[in-house]
Structure 1
Amino acid sequence: MKKYILFTCVQFLCLVGVGLLSSCGSSREIVYFQDLQPGKSEITLPEAQAITVQPEDKITIVVNSRDPQLANLFNLPVMTRTVGQIGQGSGTSQGVSGYTVDAEGNIDFPVLGTVHVGGKTRKEIASAIKEQLIQNNLVKDPVVTVEFMNLTVTVMGEVNSPGRYSIDKDRVTLLDALGMAGDLTIYGKRENVLVMREEGGVQRVYGVNLCSGEQLYTSPVYYLRQNDVVYVEPNNMRARQSTVNGNNVRSTSFWLSLASFLTSIGILIFN
């Protein structure tokens, strides 16, 4: 009778362990774009909005023309700094100085003075400065190049390489950011990836289902903006693997270890 009760307990614990493992998630929870079929699916993407410059953003503006000396009047000096300790393999690096956008969305541009760049794309800023240079007979053939300097997005949670990543183009998608972060781990929730964005002084949170291509590509946060935060939640398996106040009872490995231990005892008793 005791042997029967012991083996019944062992069987129960084994079933609990199997149940925990089976509830960790199915393949349908980790496959992207499940509703898309090659050659059949067509989704209309939302209107692509290029990133616009906001207060506290930093940008570089370089003016070129056939007369380099004339163009240099409108360019900030190139910064040179020493890398390493002098006399111990030190070197120098150069970088173009940048403009920091103030709270009103303005920058102080050489000769032209105050130029409003807030809410404008790189292309719009370049066109506006080029137009002013020509209208004021300052440069006849200016070529204006605008680049981002400190624009970033942050990726956190269940990804292989969480961190802050620089934006180096006008349109950055959610897939771009996740790709830079090394994709989701096997423990990341694909059906509810969160994107946090500040809009008009209000922090908004959007949820994106990566398992559905249609929901992803039509999401208002498919195209990211600077300072967006992407967070990938852990799935149930990862949550069970974690401990609460040092208590391992919720851990799957704990139950499997206990079942194995009791099984060994049962075998010894039976023998």
Structure 2
Amino acid sequence: MKFYKIIIVAASVLVLVACSTSKEISYFQDLRPGESELTLAAPMEIKIQPKDKLSILVNSQDLRLTNLFNLPIVSQQVGQESSSGTNRGVSGYTVDSKGDIDFPVLGGLHVQGMTREEVAVYIKKELQSHDLIKDPVVTVEFMNLSVNVMGEVNRPGRYNIDKDHLTILDALSQAGDLTIYGKREKVLVLRNENGTQRVYGINLCSADHLYSSPVYYLQQNDVVYVEPNDTKARQSTVNGNNVRSTSFWISLASLLTTISVLIFK
């Protein structure tokens, strides 16, 4: 009977460890199907910043006029943007340190702090107000905007922003999700705000915390860093106490021995 008691105690210890591990790796633990209703953070539009590169295309019924405003690329140009097939591409406009771009005919245009759509509307109005084109269609796209995902993810790297609202879940999905060793309750987002580096923390285990976070929607040049959990941290040490190391089994044997001594007394 005493032997069986030892087995029961040991099994209980292992169950507690397993439950603790499960709680550390599950996302959205506070959600209940059919019951949970969460308020999402207001969508944060990506605002144009210095050094951003924009693709700006102007179209109208008169192709001769629109050609004046679309920058053709030449294969020998430095910093060229490749075009697909035989279609002629258009090189990008780089926002200078003052937040301006040098647009054909119109000259300097201040676009810093604007969204992609606001830049399109602004250029369209400028073309019409100067009687340059009566019916312009202006399309603005991002060319070099990206975020960096680092740490305990399956595919760390730099990922392009291809839409106006990029969430942290989008970025983590592109990076192949967190590894089993990623710390879900403390994902860091580093953001440069007016020359100051700010660090935000996100708890992926809590949907309420995640969706209300000011960094749920990412901005260009954000850095997402997933910290390693305690298991990975222990594995990085020479004498780490984990299931793959000898020290773990020695510790477990010592625990069982202590329990057996207490029971047999």
Q: Is the 8 A contact 1:81 1:93 kept in 2?
A: no
Larger RCO, structures 1/2 (Cα 8 Å, 6+ apart): 1
Residue 254 of structure 1: CA displacement?
Answer: 2.9
Distance between the aligned counterparts of 1:23 and 1:130, measured in 2? 61
The answer to whether the aligner puts 1:158 opposite 2:152 as a matched pair is yes
The answer to whether the aligner puts 1:185 opposite 2:215 as a matched pair is no
Q: Is the 8 A contact 1:81 1:92 kept in 2?
A: no
Could you say which residue in structure 1 is the equivalent of 2:161?
Answer: 167
Distance between the aligned counterparts of 2:249 and 2:31, measured in 1? 44
Distance between the aligned counterparts of 1:77 and 1:25, measured in 2? 59
Could you say which residue in structure 2 is the equivalent of 1:220?
Answer: 214
Distance between the aligned counterparts of 1:66 and 1:93, measured in 2? 19
Distance between the aligned counterparts of 1:123 and 1:71, measured in 2? 19
Q: Deviations over 1:82-115 (max 9, x none)?
A: 9xxxxxxxx9896420011011100000000000
Q: Which amino acid aligns with 1:50?
A: E
Q: Which runs of 5+ in 1 are unaligned?
A: 1-10, 83-90, 263-271
Measured at CA, do residues 158 and 46 of structure 1 come closer, stay the same or move farther in structure 2, by a change above 3 Å? same
Q: Which amino acid aligns with 2:51?
A: E
Q: Deviations over 1:159-194 (max 9, x none)?
A: 000000000111100000000000000110000000
Q: State the identity as a percent.
A: 62
Residue 80 of structure 1: CA displacement?
Answer: 3.2
Residue 58 of structure 1: CA displacement?
Answer: 0.6
Could you say which residue in structure 1 is the equivalent of 2:246?
Answer: 255
Q: Is the 8 A contact 1:77 1:96 kept in 2?
A: yes
Could you say which residue in structure 1 is the equivalent of 2:31?
Answer: 36
Residue 207 of structure 1: CA displacement?
Answer: 0.4
Q: State the secondary structure of the residue aligned to 1:183.
A: coil
Q: Which runs of 5+ in 2 are unaligned?
A: 1-5, 78-84, 254-265
Number of matched pairs: 233
Q: CA RMSD in A?
A: 2.6
TM-score, length of structure 1 as denominator length: 0.80
The answer to whether the aligner puts 1:123 opposite 2:117 as a matched pair is yes
TM-score, length of structure 2 as denominator length: 0.81
Q: State the secondary structure of the residue aligned to 1:165.
A: strand
